[in-house]
A and B are shown apart, each in its own frame.
Chain A
Amino acid sequence: MGRYVIKRLLMMIPVLICVSFVVYFLMDLAPGDIIASMAPPDATPEQIELMREELGMNGTVFHRYFRYLKGLLRLDLGQSLSQKRPVADIFFERLPRTMELAFGSIFVALLIAIPLGIAAATHHRTWLDGVSMTTSMIGVSMPNFWFGLLLIIAFSLHHKWFPSYGADLGLKSLVLPAITLGTEQAGTLTRITRSSMLEVIRQDYLRTARAKGVSEKMVIRKHALKNALIPILTVLGSTLGNAFGGAVTTEAIFAWPGVGRLTVMAVNSRDPNLACGCIIMFSLLLNVTLLVVDIAYAYVDPRIKAHYAK
């Protein structure tokens, strides 16, 4: 298991380097020049050039990228040009907010998806199945900025239960953004819960459990669900990825001070170090999440644990 984890971690390095390359060059292609916009309006071209040198932004894009990469390999994300602080500081200041949002939304998604998926599977081809499948279709197809706005209108303008922006009120602030992002994830999760439950429900070992005298409730919740969790976990990994990605729009709607909004800001202000840093950290986070999910597998499915042990 340990060796497997190390192998997976090492495999992330080339991926992250590729990501940094693509983002850095894309940022360079975007029109606009942050140095010119930072300089005072009456600065001469010589002064601007001097500034460029001071900030390490001189030379061709290749020179700049390799300078940046050298820093990266020393685990240095560089300085943000727009905020004049280390990128790492800015990122980690905001990361907890995004984690709250991502995990909050996954929590909401699981809370909806697991019971709904199980109900659909155990009542296969009845009205309950139809209702839950329709609900999940709506969840998947509803644009999340629109649903977020609806929630704001209903629960913060009309009823004033929850704030419509910011993260100052703790859990109360988290509710609407987490529901917005969570319902989007819930649709896919419900469908996979349903289909993997349907698969498990036909298995002979459930009959063995019933024959032992296990109650129907426990047959489903214990014997069936633990088996159904295996495919659900696979999807959960990519759902978490979606949640990080979806955080960008959701954070924008609710003015949530997370990494998603930071990234958008960085791109808008043409701050290459900050934008690159955010995106690299984002993909690192995503990769680590997928790895954690893979490890969680082994705990659910003994057959996979045996496989890693080899």
Chain B
Amino acid sequence: MDKDLILDLKNLVVRFETEDGIVHAVNGIDLEIERGHAIGLVGETGAGKTTTALSLLRLVPKPPGVVECSKMELDGKDVLNMSVRELEQTRGKDISMIFQDPMTALNPVFSVGEQIAEAILLHENVSKAESMKRAIGMLELVGIPAERAYDFPHEFSGGMKQRVVIAIALACHPQLLIADEPTTALDVTIQAQVLDLMRRLREQYKTSLIMITHDLGIVAEICDEVAVMYAGKIIERGTLQDVFNRTKHPYTEGLFNSIPNINDRKAMLTPIKGMMPDPTNLPEGCAFEPRCPYAGEDCKRPQAKRDISETHSVLCCAYDRPGFHIDRKERS
């Protein structure tokens, strides 16, 4: 192997078999992450970001969830065929996740210190007192004073809860950290602190990171790579420069055009028209086709991944057309 991969995921498919039909949440995702890298997973609500992350922890609720995958290796270990015991040892230790909604992610009847200490106690050979001491250390690391360790979740604000959730996820220094919109519940200053914290931890522990967000600014700030998701597929993937400066997919272009440009406030904001297709009834061809300004007849056929360069790939058949290219409005 030439690359040292922390995560090697091939053809992940997740569907939820509900009474109202089959929700196709994730439809064939390949994701390779090199050790120490940070990748931003962006996409609008319902794109399947959280579901992808949960599959990596094998925590997709079943029923209704059905997960299919041809390869899922974490640090060289096959997660798909792990025994229950091995899975429990992997979760929280090799891979951990910061959950999206901090208001409901903490158990109301245990003190926050206990909830952090539990993770340490499970994975490391330490005494109860020692685990509590380390839990307090984690709390201080995320900016919560030590004496609050014995308080219960209802005594904390949303932002503080989020930091406790982060402390739980980081308690055992995981190899791969998945952060599911870790800053949406936070105000701007705290948001900057949390991002700074995550950046420092990455340097200190060489943690690899999957950062799930809709905020392209956060991606630009702490990620090396970007994967853009749409209707359960990664439609564009590349380095920050690739995706930000050499945008290839029309949907990615739309995302950039729908955030304001401070240098030219008179420039029109052009939000993407329409809505994401119903995940119970996805088209056979490109799912973005109904909303795409470049759509043609060829878009109704199944799409194949196309490599633009060593690092950059896109899922769009328009590049079969001679001379097609996207001309993103220049922004500086």
Q: Which residues of A are interface residues toward B (Cβ below 8 A)?
A: 203-216, 223, 226-227, 300-303, 306
Contact = CB atoms under 8 A, between A and B. Distances in A.
A223 B168 CA distance: 15
B109 A204 contact: no
Contacts of A209: 107, 118
B99 A204 contact: yes
Interface in B44-98: 57, 59, 84, 88-93, 96-97
Chain A contact residues: helix, strand, loop or mixed: helix
A144 to B, nearest CB: 35
Interface in B90-137: 90-93, 96-97, 99, 101, 104-111, 115, 118-119, 122-123
A302 B152 contact: yes
Contacts of B278: none
A303 B154 contact: yes
B126 to A, nearest CB: 15
B118 A212 contact: yes
A256 to B, nearest CB: 38
Contact of B122 (A213, A226, A227): A213
B108 A303 contact: yes
Given A208-B99, A302-B154, A303-B152, A213 B104 contact: no
B88 A205 contact: no
26 contacts: A204-B99, A204-B101, A204-B105, A205-B108, A207-B105, A208-B106, A208-B107, A208-B115, A208-B168, A209-B107, A209-B118, A210-B57, A210-B59, A211-B59, A211-B99, A212-B92, A212-B96, A212-B168, A226-B110, A227-B107, A227-B108, A227-B109, A301-B109, A302-B111, A302-B152, A303-B108
Given A226-B109, A227-B107, A303-B108, A213 B119 contact: yes
For chain B, give the interface size range.
Answer: 20 to 34
Given A213-B90, A301-B108, A302-B108, 15 more contacts: A207-B105, A208-B107, A208-B115, A211-B91, A211-B99, A211-B169, A212-B92, A212-B119, A213-B92, A213-B93, A223-B107, A226-B110, A303-B108, A306-B152, A306-B154
A129 to B, nearest CB: 14
A76 B99 CA distance: 62
B91 A205 contact: no
B4 interface: no
Interface string B257-294: 00000000000000000000000000000000000000
Contacts of A207: 59, 99, 105
A227 B104 CA distance: 13
Among the interface residues A223, A300, A302, which one has the most CB atoms of the partner chain B within 10 A? A302
A211 to B, nearest CB: 5
B155 interface: yes
Contacts of A213: 88-93, 119, 122-123
B165 interface: yes
Given A208-B165, A212-B118, A300 B109 contact: yes
B92 A211 contact: yes
A203 B99 CA distance: 13
A302 B109 contact: yes
B91 A210 contact: yes
Contacts of B101: 204
A213 B92 CA distance: 5
Contacts of B59: 207, 210-211
A44 B141 CA distance: 94
